């Protein structure tokens, strides 16, 4: 079954002369005090035919500092490796010509036809600085003007960048365009969502050594971050950019503030919401630029080992094995136990895939030493390391005694089908060891017998 957005799109693309109408929006007169509200917020009214919204422009000069760096350092360049984060967007020629950063504030987070984006912000770099243009609804009748103004900006964009916009912001706006029987300007517009790369770079790195049900490979891609590794945009502002907001409006307060503004017409109520949205856009541009710079410079430019593990994952997913190995190797000297485990586990897997079996075995051995070899294979990561070493010593190093030692470490915690596999492995190793012993006693050459 098609989702709601697809169904609405199909309706929009029908003949507009059809007697059936999706919705009716009356042409209400603009509120008498809307111009005064716009002026007090530093903006002006835009729109026509009874539908008007407030447009507000803010410009940060290139010399303005946002966190540890100046605004000019956050400009995106076509030479930057966007394809490392998004292959489709990065493969587009001229993607950096007009990058528009996009964020909305809504009347709720549940989505659906009843959710309206009352504030839409767009930001882009231009000569001399970073411009943010915001469109605020002074009332429901202004939504058509807002959508038309936003479409004009998107028509000139070569790439739109969001933070969680792929699953919320853009689908929501597509629903609103469909509601007004207007084609969506985002249909053919390249879209890059910064949230998934941010989670891989700066999200939780929890070691499978402390996990009882999931292995490290899954944990590194998990959408759930621990408190130390929060990937909200405001958290990344502090940890990555070094920017701290003062007197910021909490997200949960934003819808209530807008409804209060509609009841009272007091622009002071939404002034903090506008500021919140502006900082979101500038920080989104800064975080995106920093991530691209980091990917270009490599793991030596990382601030901490946790970041090196995340960067290694990005290189690995892109097929850049050399830089991924470099990132993981640097992270193996981390002070944090979980980060060292994560780096060693990913390093061992990558080396094995590259047919560097002896180096992979050395990495697995370090994993066991790190998680506590004396406790056996009690954790998922320890079991994985012991199994990999049992395979390596049986089939590659041909050290059957060592292979049996690692296989026996798997036995106490093995259950179900895995328990049967371990038992089968031990039986096979016992037979091989017995045969080797008999051949040694009779003087037969082991290699010749193989």
pLDDT tens digits for range 310-338: 999 999 998 999 999 999 999 999 999 98
**Percent of the chain at pLDDT above 70?**
83
- Measured in whole angstroms, the distance separating CA 90 from the mean position of its chain's CA atoms is 16
Report the SS3 class of residue 6: helix
Query: pLDDT at position 9, please?
Result: 59
Q: What is the arithmetic mean of pLDDT over 208-219?
A: 38
In the CATH scheme, what architecture does the domain 298-438 have? Alpha Horseshoe (1.25)
| Per-residue confidence (pLDDT) for residue 436, from 0 to 100 | 79
Q: What is the pLDDT of residue 444?
A: 55
Best CATH choice for the domain 4-294 from the list 2.60.40, 2.160.20, 2.40.128, 3.30.420: 3.30.420
At 57 the pLDDT is: 98
Per-range mean pLDDT, top range of 21-35, 219-233, 248-262, 424-438? 248-262
By C-alpha distance, which of 211, 241, 233, 206 is closest to 221? Answer: 206
Angle at CA 99, nearest 5°, toward 232 and 253?
Answer: 35
Distance CA 208, CA 220 (A): 10
pLDDT 10s digits, 250-262? 999 999 999 999 9
Helix (H/G/I), strand (E/B), else coil: 161:
strand
pLDDT at 203: 86
Confidence of residue 111 (pLDDT cuts 50, 70, 90): low
Q: Which pLDDT value is given to residue 112?
A: 61
Among the listed ranges 189-198, 305-314, 387-396, 407-416, which one has the minimum average pLDDT value? Answer: 407-416
CA distance to 242, 304, 307, 416, per residue, from 301 (Å): 16, 9, 10, 46
Going by C-alpha positions, the residue among 405, 338, 406, 393 that lies closest to residue 370 is 338
pLDDT of residue 301: 95
User: Where do the CATH 3.30.420 domains begin and end in the chain?
Assistant: 4-294
The whole-number pLDDT of residue 155 equals: 96
Q: Is beta strand 51-61 parallel, antiparallel or unpaired with respect to 99-106?
A: unpaired
> Taking the CB of residue 23, how many other CB atoms lie within 10 A of it?
9
- Residue 352, pLDDT score: 95
Q: Residue 132 is encoded by which pair of tokens? A: 């943010």
Which strands sit side by side in the sheet containing 191-193, from one edge to the other?
44-48, 51-61, 129-136, 117-126, 99-106, 159-162, 191-193
Whole-structure pTM value? 0.83
Residue-level pLDDT at 396: 93
- What φ, ψ does residue 101 adopt, rounded to 5°? -90, 135
Residues 93-122, mean pLDDT to the nearest whole number: 89
Determine the pLDDT at residue 23: 45
Tell me the pLDDT tens digit for each residue of 28-70.
444 557 889 999 999 999 987 678 999 999 999 999 999 999 9
Cβ–Cβ under 8 Å, residues 130 and 71: yes
Q: Where, residue-wise, is CATH 1.25.40.10 in the chain?
A: 298-438
pLDDT, tens digit (0-9, with 9 covering 90-100), for 143-172: 999 999 999 999 999 999 999 999 999 999
* Structure-token pair, residue 66: 């946002």
pLDDT at 287: 97
Inform me whether the pLDDT recorded for 224 exceeds 50.
no
The residues, any chain, with a CB within 8 Å of residue 240's CB and separated by 6 or more, are 202, 287, 290
Beta bridge partners of 66: 69
State what percent of residues in the chain have pLDDT above 90: 65
pLDDT of 439 above 70: yes
Stronger pLDDT, 172 or 449, i.e. the higher one:
172
Can you tell me the distance from the alpha carbon of 155 to that of 138, in angstroms, rounded to the nearest whole number? 24
Cβ-Cβ contacts under 8 Å for 176 (sequence gap 6 or more): 116, 117, 143, 147
Closest CA to 436 of 422, 418, 417, 450: 450
Q: What is the pLDDT of residue 127?
A: 94
Task: Provide the CA 51 distance to its chain's centre, in angstroms.
Answer: 37
368-387 pLDDT tens trace: 998 864 444 568 888 899 99
Mean residue pLDDT across the chain? 85
> What pLDDT, on a 0 to 100 scale, did the predictor assign at position 445?
56
């Amino acid at each position: 079954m098609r989702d709601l957005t697809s169904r609405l799109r199909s309706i929009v693309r029908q003949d507009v002369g059809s007697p059936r109408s999706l919705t009716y929006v009356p042409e209400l007169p603009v509120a008498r005090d809307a111009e005064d509200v716009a002026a007090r917020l530093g903006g002006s009214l835009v729109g026509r035919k009874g539908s008007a919204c407030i447009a507000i422009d803010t410009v940060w000069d290139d010399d303005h500092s946002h966190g540890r760096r100046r605004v000019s350092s956050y400009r995106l360049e076509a030479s930057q490796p966007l394809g490392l984060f998004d292959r489709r967007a990065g493969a587009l020629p001229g993607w950096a010509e007009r990058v528009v950063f996009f964020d909305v504030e809504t009347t709720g987070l549940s989505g659906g036809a009843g959710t309206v984006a009352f504030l839409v912000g767009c930001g882009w770099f231009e000569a001399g600085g970073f411009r943010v243009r915001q469109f605020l609804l002074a009332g429901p009748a202004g939504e058509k003007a807002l959508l038309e103004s936003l479409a004009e900006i998107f028509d000139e964009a070569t790439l739109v960048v969001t933070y969680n916009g792929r699953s919320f912001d853009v689908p929501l706006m597509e629903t609103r365009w469909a509601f007004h029987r207007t084609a969506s300007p985002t249909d053919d517009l390249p879209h890059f969502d910064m949230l998934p790369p941010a989670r891989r770079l700066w999200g939780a790195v929890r070691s499978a050594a402390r996990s009882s049900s999931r292995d490290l490979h899954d944990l590194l891609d998990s959408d759930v971050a621990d408190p130390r590794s929060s990937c909200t945009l405001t958290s990344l502002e502090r940890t990555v950019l070094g920017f701290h907001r003062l007197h910021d409006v909490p997200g949960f307060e934003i819808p209530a503030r807008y409804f209060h503004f509609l009841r009272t017409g007091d622009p002071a109520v939404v002034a903090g919401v506008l500021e919140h949205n502006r900082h979101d856009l500038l920080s989104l541009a800064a975080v995106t630029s920093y991530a691209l710079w980091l990917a270009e410079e490599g793991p030596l430019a990382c601030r901490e080992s946790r970041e090196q593990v995340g960067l290694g994952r990005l290189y690995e997913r892109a097929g850049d094995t050399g830089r991924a190995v470099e990132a993981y190797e640097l992270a193996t000297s981390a002070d944090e136990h979980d980060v060292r485990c994560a780096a060693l586990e990913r390093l061992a897997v990558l080396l094995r895939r590259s047919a560097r079996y002896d180096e992979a075995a050395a990495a697995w051995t370090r994993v066991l030493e790190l998680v506590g070899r004396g406790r056996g294979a009690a954790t998922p990561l320890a079991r994985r390391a012991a199994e990999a070493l049992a395979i390596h010593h049986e089939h590659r190093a041909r050290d059957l005694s060592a292979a049996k030692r690692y296989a026996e470490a798997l036995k106490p915690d093995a259950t179900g089908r895995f328990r049967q596999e371990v038992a089968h492995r031990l039986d096979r190793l016992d037979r091989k060891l017995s045969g080797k012993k008999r051949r040694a006693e009779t003087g037969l050459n082991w290699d010749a017998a193989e």
